[in-house]
Amino acid sequence: MSDTEPWASPSQGPSPAEQPSQAPPPSAGAPYAGAPYAGAPYAGAPYGGVPYGGAPGWTPPPKPGLVALRPLTLGDILSGAFGVFRRNPRTTFGTSVLFQILSLLLLLGVAGGATLFAVDRYESALPSQRDSLLAGSILGVIAAALIPYLATIAVTAILQGLFVVETSHQVVGERMRLRGLLGQARGRIGALVGWSLLLVAAWVVGLGLLAGAVTLLAIAGGTVSTVAAVLLGVFGALGAAVVAVWLGTKTVFVPSILMLERTSIRAAVARSWRLTRQSFWRTFGIIALVTVIIAVANSVVGVPVSIVAQIGGGIVRPNGELNSDGLTSYIVVNVVGQFVSLVIASIGAVIQSATIALLYIDQRMRREALDLDLARYAELRAQGVRPLPDPYRTPDRPAAGSGRAAWAGPTAP
């Protein structure tokens, strides 16, 4: 597909080159088979109308894939988010587990290696040198732990971007493999990671300024300064949380825009701000609901495993000492607990990313008639048209990144 190939919305009518091959409209009762539906003159309007040459009747919106192509309800978004995982578990769950394991191995390798090195250096030093080495060793371990922490941020951003692409394909009835997802993410990984690091930097700077102000008031001395420090700390933390939630919701569509519209970070922030206008509370509420569902599932599954691990630890070392058999059992129990947590985190990452992607698609359906574009894409695919245009790319926004086509087209299941 060429990046310069414009997208012609069905509402604008076909171009002259397309008119000779125009298919007759479907009947009212015929199931959707790639043809656009009738009676949807604008996004969000009631679906239905008078079929061509038939009696008045209601025509259901087309559903070529994950969800019906109409403005989505809460139930549509929730079922669709879980459906992304169910329809293609090998790509979604498998990719999430793979990236989570790589992140965990990096954490164990870097932080664990730095800790062992610091402990070995401390124990091999002379008693008179240990005090001076202790502070440096602690700082070294903390600095080493920052590397896997930043890597975890990058992994989370990349996973969200990949699952946004997968969700966008499932909406039109396509499933992707990991290689295809990585191909479409080429040229966008840097923007995704950069945006995540920018958020972390803003959070660190904000908390640093607040902590600095509280510290200055606390060391100033006096009752008034102490009370002011306490009040500033409490209300400042609450205010920071409110601002973080507000900004996070207003910019929640930035990863989706970066991946599907392939804009710059600045343009993605501005567009996310516009898309969440007049839909802030709905967007925030659905994301909060999904977050609570994932947290409850994590507790329901994770807490019993933690209890079993603690009981098992007490059984295998009742006196606080471990023999070889007890050590093996203790390690196995803890590994099982970590594996269960990893599985839950992987599933949660898929569902949360798919929820945000569906909210983004829903807003574009309501505001920009994206449902018509997606229906036309499915029609062209059913007719065997190649190459297929990108239904998510807006014509007035040139692609950023590598210049590759943002849409790979249908992929065999």
Tokens of 375: 């229906």
Measured CA to CA in angstroms, residue 191 lies from 100, 205, 400 at distances of 21, 21, 10
- What pLDDT score was predicted for residue 54? 45
- What pLDDT score was predicted for residue 6? 41
Task: Quote the CA–CA distance of 298 and 288 in Å, as a whole number.
Answer: 15
Task: Quote the CA–CA distance of 127 and 304 in Å, as a whole number.
Answer: 44
Q: At how many degrees (to 10) do helices 74-87 and 324-368 cross?
A: 130
Of 19, 166, 145, whose CA–CA distance to 90 is shortest?
166
CA 388 to chain centre: 26
Measured CA to CA in angstroms, residue 147 lies from 106, 140, 189, 203 at distances of 9, 11, 18, 18
pLDDT tens sequence across 222-246: 888 889 999 999 999 999 999 999 9
Task: Quote the CA–CA distance of 173 and 317 in Å, as a whole number.
Answer: 54
Tokens 């003159």 appear where?
41
pTM higher than 0.85 for the full model? no
- What pLDDT score was predicted for residue 314? 63
Report, in this order, helix, strand and coil percent for the chain, each rounded to 5. 70, 0, 30
Q: How many residues does the chain have?
A: 413
- What pLDDT score was predicted for residue 11? 40
Round the CA-based radius of gyration of the chain to a whole number and report it.
Answer: 27
pLDDT tens sequence across 385-402: 888 888 998 755 544 444
Low-confidence ranges of the chain (pLDDT < 50): 1-55, 398-406, 412-413
> 122-159 burial string, b = 16+ CB within 10 Å, else e?
eeeeeeeeeeebeeebeebbeebbeebbebbbbbbbbb
Q: CA torsion sign, 406 to 80 to 379 to 9?
A: negative
